[in-house]
Amino acid sequence: MRILVLGGDGYLGGPTAMHFAKKGHEVAIADNLSKRFWEAELGVAPLFHIPPLPKRARAWNESGEKQIKVFVGDIAHNHRFAYSIFEDFRPEAVIHYAEQPSAPYSMWSRLHAVNTQVNNVAGTLNVLFAMRKFTPDAHLIKLGTMGEYGTPNIDIEEGWINIEHNGRKDRMLFPKQPGSFYHLSKVHDSHNIEFACRVWGIRSTDLNQGVVYGTDTNETELHSDLITSFHYDHVFGTALNRFATQAVAGIPLTVYGTGGQKRGFLNIKDTLACVELAALNPAKPGEFRVFNQFTETFSVMDLAERVKRAGESLGLSVKIENHPNPRVEKEEHHYNPKNTSLMSLGLKPHYLSDDFVRGMVKKILSAKESIDHHVVHPTITWKQN
């Protein structure tokens, strides 16, 4: 299958591209390298050095594996670049990660909120128009987030819900209550994509993904230039990464608020498996299909306690600290999201084990001297910066 990975220089994009190439698919990636700019803008860096994209691609393409084609350019601000990829490569599946991925980044200022929404929404619109023009039968696999739903007081279904109201029924989009301008941008995307499916007959799977953890996949381990990024900072680092790094650095784990916030999580290996299952079992023409992509739910405090346990078993002294919550979110709430679709397609989850967390802490210990203590504490707040 011809597979185009948008955002191929990113945390998930690189591993995804290699995963499909390893399986014998024809793979191309596109990226505007903006994540590297955002890191520079914030003064943060992945814990382990990520080589420039050409070097990463060379490491892969010289390894004897099936070649990956690289396009560098901006799909959001240069639609001719987007169109040229679709015209040239003619993808059958498009895996779209090419978005600004951080909630705190989007809440930093007006500029960052607007840039996040314009980048994500216009990029996805350009992809939809490119598909309509050049590959109307291709399958768009779009990465959304579980954070689009927020934390409603009812069970979270997979994108759609049957509503009975005043004696009549309809199947409707599940109402969303996202928690940042970033999460809102994904909700906007979902609405735009649903429309393109309904009106143009585009096929799409919207993957509402939980928080991904882990950095190692079968392919990232093949060569040191093929590793993917590990962020522990307050902007791009998610809870588990940040806690494990704090444990190593001897900084108390910063649990925001009570830590009762529950979220869906999954291992990066399961991300690759889910995206592959979606690609091999495409949506039908005109279908807007939504899968909730996570394997387990944890509260933030659960994660902190797991990290504390793992750190202590390795001889570290680990403290947990309830930090004033920089976000506006419910800290105690109902959370029962469904995730049966990918399981029925055959997903075999890698559940989070104490061994896995210990492995993470050990890996971070090997780079202890690279940890920047200044970028761990949250400085971006939801109320006013």
Residues that are catalytic: 145, 182, 186
Q: Which of 183, 34, 173 shows the shortest CA–CA distance to 98?
A: 34
Q: Is 315 left (phi over 0), alpha (psi -120 to 50) or beta?
A: left
Tokens matching residue 357: 């967390």
The length of the chain in residues reads 385
Q: Going by C-beta distance under 8 Å and a sequence separation of 6 or more, which residues neighbour residue 183? A: 103, 145, 147, 148
The distance in angstroms from the start CA to the end CA of the chain is 47
Residue for token digits 């809440």? Answer: 107
In this complex, which beta carbon is closest to its own copies, that of residue 133 or of residue 373? 133
Q: How far is the CB of 382 from its own copies (least distance, A)?
A: 5
- Judged on CB neighbours under 10 Å (0-12, 13-18, 19+), 162 is exposed
Q: How far is the CB of 292 from its own copies (least distance, A)?
A: 15
Q: How many CB atoms lie within 10 A of CB 113?
A: 18
Q: Which of 158, 182, 163 shows the shortest CA–CA distance to 283?
A: 158
Q: How far is the CB of 164 from its own copies (least distance, A)?
A: 8
Q: Which of 129, 105, 135 shows the shortest CA–CA distance to 1?
A: 135
Q: How far is the CB of 124 from its own copies (least distance, A)?
A: 10
In this complex, which beta carbon is closest to its own copies, that of residue 314 or of residue 328? 328
In this complex, which beta carbon is closest to its own copies, that of residue 190 or of residue 271? 190
Q: Which of 296, 341, 335, 381 shows the shortest CA–CA distance to 150?
A: 335
Q: How far is the CB of 237 from its own copies (least distance, A)?
A: 22
Query: How far is CA 369 from each of CA 162, 215, 365, 366, 372, rounded to the nearest angstrom?
Result: 53, 19, 8, 8, 8
Tokens matching residue 281: 């079992």
Q: How far is the CB of 286 from its own copies (least distance, A)?
A: 11
Report the alpha-carbon angle 225-231-237, nearest 5: 155
Q: How far is the CB of 383 from its own copies (least distance, A)?
A: 7
Distance CA 255, CA 243 (A): 8
Q: Going by C-beta distance under 8 Å and a sequence separation of 6 or more, which residues neighbour residue 173? A: 159, 160, 161, 190, 191, 194
In this complex, which beta carbon is closest to its own copies, that of residue 60 or of residue 174? 174
Whether the Cβ atoms of residue 96 and residue 204 lie closer than 8 Å to each other: no
Query: How far is CA 350 from each of CA 51, 71, 100, 155, 322, rounded to the nearest angstrom?
Result: 28, 32, 27, 24, 29
In this complex, which beta carbon is closest to its own copies, that of residue 183 or of residue 269? 183
Q: How far is the CB of 34 from its own copies (least distance, A)?
A: 17
In this complex, which beta carbon is closest to its own copies, that of residue 32 or of residue 246? 32
In this complex, which beta carbon is closest to its own copies, that of residue 163 or of residue 314? 163
In this complex, which beta carbon is closest to its own copies, that of residue 106 or of residue 246? 106
| Residues engaged in binding its own copies (CB under 8 A) | 79, 110, 113-114, 117-118, 121-122, 125-126, 129, 132, 152-155, 157, 161, 163-166, 168-170, 172-181, 184, 187-188, 191-192, 194-195, 198-200, 328, 334, 382-384
Phi, psi of 99 (to 5 degrees): -135, 155
